[in-house]
């Protein structure tokens, strides 16, 4: 069986292409929503909750997975580390699909500031006196709030009940919440920046397909700063940045063999 960890829209493309040949696929998503959007796809088994190392060992063994394709989000570092470790333990081939970065397009632009972690962000953002738009996601709300910035911070989050409830528990004002499913267009990014009088945007390097290019382009054109949380570097034995190349590899080795 082929295993597939999904966390990006490209993951659905991979699953759709694999469905042209087989439905003997184990699919893992981190949320119920992630599983719900796969109702029109074919697979033998679906997991829709987060998996730690022991959980990975259990489900990979039970489903007799031969190869695991990790198409999780670039920032789902713990998922990736646990998946690699589990594959090594079970002697399963691990294949990484990594969403390409688009940061090279903005190299040396003084409006684009890359930071390694929230501690560095806290130090480097001190010169910003105006409003800040946080688009790093609801999982990072506490990290942003713990910085105790004096700026007004607008949080762009998913329009889900549990997310809005989390914002309420953290005492984030409803006036400081933009609830919308991304990625959003360049034009809408510009509108948010202008309407909320934003001076700096906090974001991740989620690649062009994840909306990063349009977000940074909007920052530059609106003359505001983009603070980008860079990806953690992981050394992969087998990584692809092109879906077709990865599918060709999987197809020849696990689908079209004799």
The enclosing domain of 117 has a CATH number of 3.40.50.1000
Assigned token pair, 11: 């993951």
Structural domain of 174: 103-229
Q: What are φ and ψ of residue 95, in 5° steps?
A: -125, 125
Looking at the fold, whether 64 and 163 belong to one and the same domain comes out as no
Inter-CA distances, 101 with 63, 122, 131, 209, 249, Å: 33, 24, 27, 9, 22
Query: Do 213 and 107 sit in the same domain of this protein?
Result: yes
**pLDDT of amino acid 258:** 43
- Please tell me whether residues 138 and 221 are part of one structural domain: yes
Averaged pLDDT, groups of 10, the chain, 258 residues long: 92 92 92 85 92 96 96 93 97 96 92 96 96 96 96 96 96 97 96 98 94 97 97 92 94 72
Which backbone phi and psi does 251 adopt, to 5 degrees? -60, -50
Count of the separate structural domains present in the chain: 2
Distance, in Å, from the CA atom of 246 to the CA atom of 63, rounded to the nearest integer, reads 22
Of 68, 77, 75, nearest in space to 96 by CA: 68
Which helix (H) or strand (E) segment is 3 a member of?
strand 2-6
Tell me the C-alpha distance between 52 and 81, whole Å: 9
With H, G, I as helix, E, B as strand and everything else as coil, classify residue 174: helix
């Amino acid at each position: 069986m082929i295993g597939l960890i999904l966390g990006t829209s490209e993951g659905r493309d991979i699953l759709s292409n694999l469905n042209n040949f087989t439905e003997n696929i184990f699919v893992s998503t981190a949320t119920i929503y992630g599983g719900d959007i796969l109702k029109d796809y074919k697979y033998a088994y679906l997991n829709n909750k987060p998996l730690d190392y022991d959980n990975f060992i259990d489900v990979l063994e039970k489903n007799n997975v031969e190869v695991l394709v990790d198409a999780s989000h670039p920032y789902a570092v713990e998922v990736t580390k646990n998946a690699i470790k589990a594959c090594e333990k079970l002697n399963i081939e691990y294949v990484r699909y990594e969403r390409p970065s688009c940061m090279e397009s903005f190299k040396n632009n003084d409006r684009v500031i890359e930071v390694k972690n929230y501690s560095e962000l806290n130090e480097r953002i001190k010169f910003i006196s105006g409003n800040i738009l946080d688009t790093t996601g609801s999982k990072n709300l506490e990290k942003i709030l713990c910085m105790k910035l004096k700026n007004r911070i607008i949080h762009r989050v998913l329009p889900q009940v549990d997310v809005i409830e989390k914002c309420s528990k953290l005492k984030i004002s409803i006036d400081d919440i933009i609830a919308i499913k991304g990625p959003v267009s360049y034009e809408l990014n510009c509108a948010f920046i202008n309407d909320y009088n934003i001076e700096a945007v906090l974001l991740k390097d989620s690649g062009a397909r994840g909306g990063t290019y349009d977000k940074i382009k909007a920052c530059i054109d609106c003359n505001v700063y983009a603070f980008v949380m860079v990806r953690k570097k992981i050394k992969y034995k087998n990584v692809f940045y092109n879906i077709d190349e990865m599918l060709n590899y999987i197809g020849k080795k696990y689908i079209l063999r004799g």
